[in-house]
Amino acid sequence: MAKTMLIADDLTGALDAGVCLLPADVLVATSPEGVTCELVSSCPAAISVNAGTRHLDAVSAAARVAALVEVAREAGVPCVVKKTDSALRGNVGAELTAAWRASGLPRIHFIPALPEMGRVTRGGVHYVDGVPVAESAFGRDPFEPVRVSDVRALVSSQTDAPVHLVEEGSPAPLDASGIVIYDATSTESMVARVRELRDAGELGVVAGCAGVTDALAGVLDLGRMHGEKSLDSGNLLAVCGSVNSASRAQCRFAEGSGARVMRIGEREKCDDSWLDSEDGRSFVSRASESWGNAPLTVVDGSGLEDLTGLVPEGTDVRQVVADHIGAILVSICEQGLHGRVLVTGGDILASFLAQSGVERVRPLDQPAPGIVGFELDLRGQRLVIFSKSGGFGSRELLVEMAGRSREMAKECAHA
Protein backbone atom coordinates (compact mmCIF):
# COMPACT_ATOMS: atom_id res chain seq x y z
CA MET A 1 0.00 0.00 0.00
CA ALA A 2 1.23 3.48 -0.84
CA LYS A 3 2.13 5.44 2.28
CA THR A 4 1.48 8.72 0.49
CA MET A 5 -0.77 9.73 -2.41
CA LEU A 6 -0.18 13.05 -4.13
CA ILE A 7 -2.94 14.61 -6.25
CA ALA A 8 -1.73 17.36 -8.59
CA ASP A 9 -3.71 19.54 -10.97
CA ASP A 10 -1.30 19.02 -13.86
CA LEU A 11 1.49 16.70 -14.93
CA THR A 12 4.36 19.04 -14.14
CA GLY A 13 2.99 19.39 -10.63
CA ALA A 14 2.69 15.64 -10.20
CA LEU A 15 6.34 15.23 -11.20
CA ASP A 16 7.56 18.18 -9.11
CA ALA A 17 5.84 16.79 -6.04
CA GLY A 18 6.79 13.17 -6.64
CA VAL A 19 10.49 13.79 -7.10
CA CYS A 20 10.65 15.42 -3.66
CA LEU A 21 9.97 12.01 -2.12
CA LEU A 22 13.06 10.39 -3.68
CA PRO A 23 14.95 8.18 -2.98
CA ALA A 24 11.70 6.40 -2.10
CA ASP A 25 10.09 4.36 -4.88
CA VAL A 26 7.66 6.81 -6.47
CA LEU A 27 5.26 6.10 -9.32
CA VAL A 28 3.68 8.95 -11.31
CA ALA A 29 0.34 8.29 -13.03
CA THR A 30 0.17 10.56 -16.07
CA SER A 31 -3.62 10.82 -15.88
CA PRO A 32 -6.37 9.89 -13.38
CA GLU A 33 -7.59 7.11 -15.66
CA GLY A 34 -6.63 3.73 -14.30
CA VAL A 35 -5.87 5.02 -10.80
CA THR A 36 -7.71 2.37 -8.83
CA CYS A 37 -7.62 1.08 -5.30
CA GLU A 38 -5.67 -1.93 -6.59
CA LEU A 39 -2.98 0.25 -8.20
CA VAL A 40 -2.61 2.45 -5.11
CA SER A 41 -2.49 -0.59 -2.85
CA SER A 42 0.33 -2.11 -4.92
CA CYS A 43 2.62 0.94 -4.71
CA PRO A 44 5.42 0.37 -2.20
CA ALA A 45 5.97 4.00 -1.16
CA ALA A 46 4.15 6.77 -2.99
CA ILE A 47 1.97 7.47 -6.01
CA SER A 48 1.67 10.91 -7.55
CA VAL A 49 -1.35 11.44 -9.80
CA ASN A 50 -1.88 14.01 -12.52
CA ALA A 51 -5.56 14.76 -11.93
CA GLY A 52 -5.61 17.03 -15.00
CA THR A 53 -7.82 19.62 -13.33
CA ARG A 54 -5.88 22.84 -13.96
CA HIS A 55 -8.04 23.95 -16.88
CA LEU A 56 -11.35 22.37 -15.84
CA ASP A 57 -14.18 24.40 -14.34
CA ALA A 58 -14.28 24.44 -10.55
CA VAL A 59 -17.17 21.96 -10.23
CA SER A 60 -15.57 19.37 -12.51
CA ALA A 61 -12.17 19.82 -10.87
CA ALA A 62 -13.64 19.33 -7.40
CA ALA A 63 -15.47 16.16 -8.46
CA ARG A 64 -12.30 14.63 -9.88
CA VAL A 65 -10.25 15.45 -6.77
CA ALA A 66 -12.95 14.04 -4.49
CA ALA A 67 -13.02 10.78 -6.47
CA LEU A 68 -9.24 10.37 -6.15
CA VAL A 69 -9.29 11.08 -2.41
CA GLU A 70 -11.99 8.43 -2.04
CA VAL A 71 -9.73 5.94 -3.85
CA ALA A 72 -6.95 6.80 -1.40
CA ARG A 73 -9.29 6.29 1.56
CA GLU A 74 -10.46 2.94 0.19
CA ALA A 75 -6.84 1.85 -0.20
CA GLY A 76 -6.03 2.93 3.35
CA VAL A 77 -3.41 5.55 2.39
CA PRO A 78 -2.36 7.30 5.64
CA CYS A 79 -1.26 10.60 4.03
CA VAL A 80 -3.02 12.34 1.13
CA VAL A 81 -1.47 15.49 -0.31
CA LYS A 82 -3.46 17.88 -2.50
CA LYS A 83 -0.64 19.37 -4.55
CA THR A 84 -1.32 22.98 -5.57
CA ASP A 85 0.44 25.35 -7.95
CA SER A 86 3.22 27.37 -6.31
CA ALA A 87 1.80 30.55 -7.85
CA LEU A 88 -1.81 29.72 -6.85
CA ARG A 89 -3.08 29.11 -10.38
CA GLY A 90 -6.02 26.81 -10.99
CA ASN A 91 -9.05 25.83 -8.90
CA VAL A 92 -7.26 26.09 -5.57
CA GLY A 93 -10.24 26.76 -3.27
CA ALA A 94 -12.57 24.27 -4.96
CA GLU A 95 -9.97 21.50 -4.94
CA LEU A 96 -8.94 22.06 -1.32
CA THR A 97 -12.57 21.89 -0.28
CA ALA A 98 -13.15 18.70 -2.27
CA ALA A 99 -10.09 17.03 -0.74
CA TRP A 100 -11.10 18.07 2.77
CA ARG A 101 -14.70 16.91 2.52
CA ALA A 102 -13.85 13.63 0.76
CA SER A 103 -11.25 12.83 3.42
CA GLY A 104 -13.84 12.82 6.20
CA LEU A 105 -11.36 14.64 8.46
CA PRO A 106 -12.06 17.81 10.47
CA ARG A 107 -9.62 19.99 8.48
CA ILE A 108 -7.07 20.21 5.69
CA HIS A 109 -3.74 21.93 6.35
CA PHE A 110 -2.59 24.16 3.46
CA ILE A 111 1.00 25.49 3.32
CA PRO A 112 1.32 27.20 -0.09
CA ALA A 113 4.96 28.39 0.11
CA LEU A 114 8.00 27.22 -1.83
CA PRO A 115 10.80 29.27 -0.24
CA GLU A 116 13.54 27.62 -2.32
CA MET A 117 12.03 29.27 -5.40
CA GLY A 118 11.30 32.61 -3.73
CA ARG A 119 7.61 31.88 -3.17
CA VAL A 120 6.62 32.66 0.41
CA THR A 121 3.46 33.51 2.34
CA ARG A 122 3.61 36.34 4.86
CA GLY A 123 0.61 37.88 6.60
CA GLY A 124 -1.62 35.79 4.37
CA VAL A 125 -0.16 37.36 1.21
CA HIS A 126 1.64 35.12 -1.30
CA TYR A 127 4.84 36.57 -2.76
CA VAL A 128 6.98 35.61 -5.77
CA ASP A 129 10.53 36.93 -5.45
CA GLY A 130 9.36 39.62 -3.04
CA VAL A 131 6.42 40.76 -5.19
CA PRO A 132 2.76 39.93 -4.40
CA VAL A 133 1.85 37.16 -6.82
CA ALA A 134 -0.90 39.17 -8.54
CA GLU A 135 1.70 41.85 -9.35
CA SER A 136 4.25 39.35 -10.65
CA ALA A 137 4.51 37.75 -14.10
CA PHE A 138 1.81 35.29 -12.97
CA GLY A 139 -0.63 38.16 -12.65
CA ARG A 140 -0.01 38.94 -16.32
CA ASP A 141 -0.33 35.39 -17.60
CA PRO A 142 -2.35 35.55 -20.86
CA PHE A 143 -4.25 32.32 -20.09
CA GLU A 144 -4.71 32.09 -16.33
CA PRO A 145 -3.64 35.29 -14.55
CA VAL A 146 -3.59 35.24 -10.76
CA ARG A 147 -5.64 38.27 -9.74
CA VAL A 148 -5.51 37.94 -5.94
CA SER A 149 -2.42 37.80 -3.71
CA ASP A 150 -4.28 37.29 -0.42
CA VAL A 151 -4.44 33.50 -0.05
CA ARG A 152 -7.48 33.45 2.20
CA ALA A 153 -9.41 35.74 -0.16
CA LEU A 154 -8.39 33.65 -3.18
CA VAL A 155 -9.46 30.38 -1.54
CA SER A 156 -12.70 31.87 -0.20
CA SER A 157 -13.65 33.09 -3.67
CA GLN A 158 -14.06 29.44 -4.72
CA THR A 159 -15.64 27.87 -1.65
CA ASP A 160 -18.08 28.34 1.19
CA ALA A 161 -15.92 26.23 3.52
CA PRO A 162 -14.51 27.87 6.67
CA VAL A 163 -11.03 29.29 5.98
CA HIS A 164 -8.50 30.09 8.73
CA LEU A 165 -5.10 31.83 8.58
CA VAL A 166 -2.22 30.92 10.91
CA GLU A 167 0.82 33.17 11.30
CA GLU A 168 4.30 31.71 11.10
CA GLY A 169 5.32 30.44 14.53
CA SER A 170 1.77 30.21 15.88
CA PRO A 171 0.48 26.74 16.81
CA ALA A 172 -1.76 24.78 14.48
CA PRO A 173 -5.44 25.23 15.45
CA LEU A 174 -6.38 21.62 16.17
CA ASP A 175 -9.95 22.57 16.99
CA ALA A 176 -10.59 24.27 13.63
CA SER A 177 -12.87 22.97 10.91
CA GLY A 178 -12.32 23.50 7.19
CA ILE A 179 -9.25 24.87 5.43
CA VAL A 180 -6.29 26.05 7.53
CA ILE A 181 -3.76 28.25 5.67
CA TYR A 182 -0.26 28.72 7.08
CA ASP A 183 2.27 31.50 6.58
CA ALA A 184 5.77 30.26 5.78
CA THR A 185 8.87 32.20 4.76
CA SER A 186 11.62 29.58 5.02
CA THR A 187 12.20 25.91 4.37
CA GLU A 188 13.02 25.46 8.05
CA SER A 189 9.65 26.81 9.14
CA MET A 190 7.87 24.52 6.69
CA VAL A 191 9.69 21.45 8.02
CA ALA A 192 8.89 22.53 11.58
CA ARG A 193 5.20 22.93 10.68
CA VAL A 194 5.02 19.50 9.05
CA ARG A 195 6.72 17.93 12.08
CA GLU A 196 4.17 19.63 14.32
CA LEU A 197 1.33 18.22 12.24
CA ARG A 198 2.89 14.75 12.20
CA ASP A 199 3.29 14.73 15.97
CA ALA A 200 -0.35 15.78 16.33
CA GLY A 201 -1.53 13.03 13.97
CA GLU A 202 -2.68 15.65 11.44
CA LEU A 203 -1.10 14.43 8.19
CA GLY A 204 -4.21 12.62 6.98
CA VAL A 205 -4.88 15.33 4.39
CA VAL A 206 -2.52 18.23 3.73
CA ALA A 207 -1.98 20.60 0.81
CA GLY A 208 0.67 22.75 -0.80
CA CYS A 209 3.14 22.79 -3.64
CA ALA A 210 6.46 20.95 -3.89
CA GLY A 211 7.58 22.73 -0.73
CA VAL A 212 5.17 20.61 1.31
CA THR A 213 6.22 17.31 -0.26
CA ASP A 214 9.85 18.24 0.26
CA ALA A 215 9.12 18.86 3.94
CA LEU A 216 7.16 15.61 4.18
CA ALA A 217 10.12 13.68 2.77
CA GLY A 218 12.13 14.79 5.78
CA VAL A 219 9.64 13.56 8.37
CA LEU A 220 8.08 10.45 6.79
CA ASP A 221 9.74 7.04 6.61
CA LEU A 222 9.14 6.04 2.99
CA GLY A 223 12.14 3.75 2.46
CA ARG A 224 14.33 3.65 -0.62
CA MET A 225 13.91 2.38 -4.18
CA HIS A 226 15.76 -0.77 -5.20
CA GLY A 227 18.54 -0.52 -7.77
CA GLU A 228 20.49 2.44 -9.08
CA LYS A 229 18.74 4.98 -11.25
CA SER A 230 20.55 7.72 -13.12
CA LEU A 231 20.01 10.39 -15.73
CA ASP A 232 21.64 9.59 -19.06
CA SER A 233 24.10 11.95 -20.65
CA GLY A 234 23.67 12.91 -24.27
CA ASN A 235 22.42 15.68 -26.51
CA LEU A 236 19.47 17.71 -25.26
CA LEU A 237 16.33 18.44 -27.26
CA ALA A 238 14.40 21.26 -25.53
CA VAL A 239 10.76 21.76 -26.50
CA CYS A 240 9.28 25.00 -25.19
CA GLY A 241 5.59 25.83 -25.43
CA SER A 242 5.30 28.14 -22.43
CA VAL A 243 4.72 31.85 -23.09
CA ASN A 244 6.07 32.82 -19.66
CA SER A 245 8.71 35.55 -19.87
CA ALA A 246 11.25 33.28 -18.15
CA SER A 247 10.82 30.63 -20.86
CA ARG A 248 11.18 33.15 -23.67
CA ALA A 249 14.37 34.47 -22.08
CA GLN A 250 15.77 30.93 -21.87
CA CYS A 251 15.16 30.36 -25.58
CA ARG A 252 16.78 33.69 -26.49
CA PHE A 253 19.84 32.99 -24.35
CA ALA A 254 20.23 29.51 -25.88
CA GLU A 255 20.16 31.01 -29.36
CA GLY A 256 22.69 33.66 -28.37
CA SER A 257 24.93 30.91 -27.05
CA GLY A 258 24.97 29.16 -30.43
CA ALA A 259 22.21 26.59 -30.01
CA ARG A 260 20.07 25.58 -32.98
CA VAL A 261 16.68 27.20 -32.31
CA MET A 262 13.79 26.12 -34.55
CA ARG A 263 10.70 28.26 -34.10
CA ILE A 264 7.13 27.10 -34.49
CA GLY A 265 4.52 29.74 -35.17
CA GLU A 266 0.82 30.09 -35.86
CA ARG A 267 0.45 27.39 -38.52
CA GLU A 268 2.57 24.85 -36.66
CA LYS A 269 0.56 25.43 -33.48
CA CYS A 270 -2.93 25.31 -34.98
CA ASP A 271 -3.03 23.64 -38.41
CA ASP A 272 -3.89 19.94 -38.24
CA SER A 273 -2.46 19.34 -41.70
CA TRP A 274 0.93 20.99 -41.18
CA LEU A 275 2.74 18.04 -39.64
CA ASP A 276 1.91 15.86 -42.66
CA SER A 277 2.88 18.56 -45.15
CA GLU A 278 6.25 18.81 -46.88
CA ASP A 279 7.19 21.69 -44.54
CA GLY A 280 6.19 19.68 -41.49
CA ARG A 281 8.13 16.60 -42.51
CA SER A 282 11.16 18.74 -43.31
CA PHE A 283 10.95 20.45 -39.90
CA VAL A 284 10.86 17.09 -38.09
CA SER A 285 13.77 15.73 -40.14
CA ARG A 286 15.92 18.81 -39.46
CA ALA A 287 15.08 18.76 -35.75
CA SER A 288 15.96 15.07 -35.49
CA GLU A 289 19.24 15.59 -37.33
CA SER A 290 20.17 18.51 -35.09
CA TRP A 291 19.30 16.52 -31.96
CA GLY A 292 21.63 13.78 -33.14
CA ASN A 293 24.54 16.12 -33.89
CA ALA A 294 24.38 19.14 -31.57
CA PRO A 295 24.58 19.37 -27.76
CA LEU A 296 21.45 21.56 -27.64
CA THR A 297 18.52 21.90 -30.04
CA VAL A 298 15.53 24.08 -29.12
CA VAL A 299 12.05 23.78 -30.60
CA ASP A 300 10.70 27.17 -29.62
CA GLY A 301 6.93 27.68 -29.43
CA SER A 302 7.07 30.49 -26.85
CA GLY A 303 5.75 33.21 -29.17
CA LEU A 304 2.82 35.32 -28.01
CA GLU A 305 0.66 35.16 -31.14
CA ASP A 306 -3.08 35.73 -30.87
CA LEU A 307 -4.41 32.35 -31.99
CA THR A 308 -8.08 32.76 -31.08
CA GLY A 309 -9.16 33.34 -34.68
CA LEU A 310 -7.19 30.35 -35.98
CA VAL A 311 -9.10 27.62 -34.15
CA PRO A 312 -12.83 26.81 -34.13
CA GLU A 313 -14.93 28.98 -31.84
CA GLY A 314 -15.25 27.47 -28.39
CA THR A 315 -12.06 25.44 -28.75
CA ASP A 316 -9.53 25.50 -25.91
CA VAL A 317 -6.59 27.25 -27.58
CA ARG A 318 -4.13 26.00 -24.96
CA GLN A 319 -5.08 22.39 -25.58
CA VAL A 320 -4.89 22.79 -29.35
CA VAL A 321 -1.37 24.20 -29.04
CA ALA A 322 -0.33 21.54 -26.54
CA ASP A 323 -1.60 18.74 -28.79
CA HIS A 324 0.16 20.11 -31.87
CA ILE A 325 3.50 20.68 -30.13
CA GLY A 326 3.16 17.30 -28.44
CA ALA A 327 2.60 15.70 -31.86
CA ILE A 328 5.73 17.40 -33.21
CA LEU A 329 7.76 15.88 -30.37
CA VAL A 330 6.24 12.45 -31.01
CA SER A 331 7.26 12.68 -34.68
CA ILE A 332 10.81 13.73 -33.80
CA CYS A 333 11.16 10.81 -31.37
CA GLU A 334 9.86 8.42 -34.01
CA GLN A 335 12.86 9.40 -36.14
CA GLY A 336 15.11 8.03 -33.39
CA LEU A 337 16.17 8.84 -29.83
CA HIS A 338 19.43 10.79 -29.75
CA GLY A 339 19.72 11.73 -26.09
CA ARG A 340 17.56 13.54 -23.59
CA VAL A 341 14.44 15.72 -23.88
CA LEU A 342 13.39 18.75 -21.86
CA VAL A 343 9.76 19.86 -22.11
CA THR A 344 8.59 23.24 -20.82
CA GLY A 345 4.85 23.26 -20.19
CA GLY A 346 2.88 20.54 -18.41
CA ASP A 347 0.10 20.52 -21.02
CA ILE A 348 2.58 19.73 -23.80
CA LEU A 349 4.24 16.99 -21.78
CA ALA A 350 0.88 15.43 -20.90
CA SER A 351 -0.19 15.50 -24.55
CA PHE A 352 3.10 13.95 -25.69
CA LEU A 353 2.75 11.11 -23.18
CA ALA A 354 -0.90 10.53 -24.07
CA GLN A 355 -0.13 10.41 -27.80
CA SER A 356 2.74 8.02 -27.06
CA GLY A 357 0.52 5.74 -24.94
CA VAL A 358 2.61 6.27 -21.79
CA GLU A 359 0.50 5.91 -18.62
CA ARG A 360 3.15 5.80 -15.87
CA VAL A 361 6.65 7.18 -15.38
CA ARG A 362 9.26 7.04 -12.63
CA PRO A 363 11.05 10.15 -11.32
CA LEU A 364 14.83 9.84 -11.11
CA ASP A 365 16.24 13.12 -9.87
CA GLN A 366 15.82 16.86 -9.52
CA PRO A 367 18.94 18.34 -11.14
CA ALA A 368 17.80 21.91 -10.39
CA PRO A 369 14.87 23.48 -8.50
CA GLY A 370 11.72 23.09 -10.56
CA ILE A 371 13.35 20.61 -12.97
CA VAL A 372 12.39 16.93 -12.74
CA GLY A 373 14.14 14.12 -14.56
CA PHE A 374 12.19 10.92 -15.12
CA GLU A 375 12.32 7.80 -17.26
CA LEU A 376 9.75 6.09 -19.42
CA ASP A 377 9.51 3.27 -21.90
CA LEU A 378 8.88 4.55 -25.42
CA ARG A 379 8.17 1.66 -27.77
CA GLY A 380 10.70 -0.55 -26.04
CA GLN A 381 13.38 2.12 -25.60
CA ARG A 382 14.30 4.01 -22.44
CA LEU A 383 13.91 7.77 -22.71
CA VAL A 384 14.94 10.31 -20.08
CA ILE A 385 12.83 13.46 -20.05
CA PHE A 386 13.10 16.59 -17.95
CA SER A 387 9.97 18.58 -17.19
CA LYS A 388 9.90 22.25 -16.29
CA SER A 389 7.18 24.71 -15.43
CA GLY A 390 7.29 27.86 -17.56
CA GLY A 391 8.21 30.29 -14.79
CA PHE A 392 11.11 28.28 -13.35
CA GLY A 393 14.80 28.65 -14.02
CA SER A 394 17.39 31.26 -14.95
CA ARG A 395 17.87 32.42 -18.51
CA GLU A 396 20.97 30.19 -18.74
CA LEU A 397 19.02 27.07 -17.84
CA LEU A 398 18.81 25.35 -21.24
CA VAL A 399 22.50 25.92 -21.89
CA GLU A 400 23.40 24.60 -18.45
CA MET A 401 21.15 21.57 -18.87
CA ALA A 402 22.98 20.77 -22.11
CA GLY A 403 25.98 20.24 -19.88
CA ARG A 404 28.72 22.30 -21.47
CA SER A 405 28.00 26.01 -21.63
CA ARG A 406 31.08 27.48 -23.35
CA GLU A 407 32.01 24.32 -25.25
CA MET A 408 28.42 23.96 -26.36
CA ALA A 409 28.37 27.32 -28.08
CA LYS A 410 31.36 26.35 -30.19
CA GLU A 411 30.01 22.89 -31.02
CA CYS A 412 26.53 24.16 -31.90
CA ALA A 413 28.02 26.79 -34.18
CA HIS A 414 29.72 24.06 -36.21
CA ALA A 415 26.95 21.42 -36.07
Give the per-residue pLDDT at 407: 44
Beta strands in 306-359 (DSSP E): 339-344
**Does the reported pTM lie above 0.95?**
no
Q: Is residue 405 pLDDT above 60, yes or no?
A: no
Domain spans of the chain, in order of start: 4-219, 235-413
- Tell me how far apart the alpha carbons of residues 9 and 64 are, in angstroms, rounded to a whole number: 10
Tell me what the mean pLDDT of segment 342-359 comes to.
92
Total residue length of the chain:
415
What percent of the chain stands above pLDDT 70? 95
Instruction: Band the pLDDT of 225: cuts 50, 70, 90.
Output: low
- Tell me how far apart the alpha carbons of residues 65 and 154 are, in angstroms, rounded to a whole number: 19
Instruction: Band the pLDDT of 230: cuts 50, 70, 90.
Output: low
**pLDDT, tens digit (0-9, with 9 covering 90-100), for 49-82:** 999 999 899 999 999 999 999 999 999 999 999 9
Domain 235-413 has CATH 3.40.980.20: yes
Does residue 415 or residue 140 have the better pLDDT? 140
156 DSSP β-pair partners? none
Instruction: Band the pLDDT of 84: cuts 50, 70, 90.
Output: very high
Q: Is residue 386 pLDDT above 50, yes or no?
A: yes
- Tell me how far apart the alpha carbons of residues 107 and 100 are, in angstroms, rounded to a whole number: 6
- Tell me how far apart the alpha carbons of residues 11 and 335 are, in angstroms, rounded to a whole number: 25
Tell me what the mean pLDDT of segment 281-294 comes to.
97
Does residue 407 or residue 129 have the better pLDDT? 129
| The pairing of beta strand 46-50 with beta strand 4-8 | parallel
- Tell me how far apart the alpha carbons of residues 125 and 289 are, in angstroms, rounded to a whole number: 48
Does residue 202 or residue 233 have the better pLDDT? 202
Give the per-residue pLDDT at 309: 75
The topology (CATH level 3) of 4-219 is Rossmann fold (3.40.50)
**pLDDT, tens digit (0-9, with 9 covering 90-100), for 23-48:** 888 999 999 999 999 999 998 799 99
**pLDDT, tens digit (0-9, with 9 covering 90-100), for 308-350:** 777 777 788 888 999 999 999 999 999 999 999 999 988 899 9
Tell me what the mean pLDDT of segment 179-208 comes to.
97
* Beta-carbon contacts of residue 150 (< 8 Å; ≥ 6 apart): 124, 125, 126
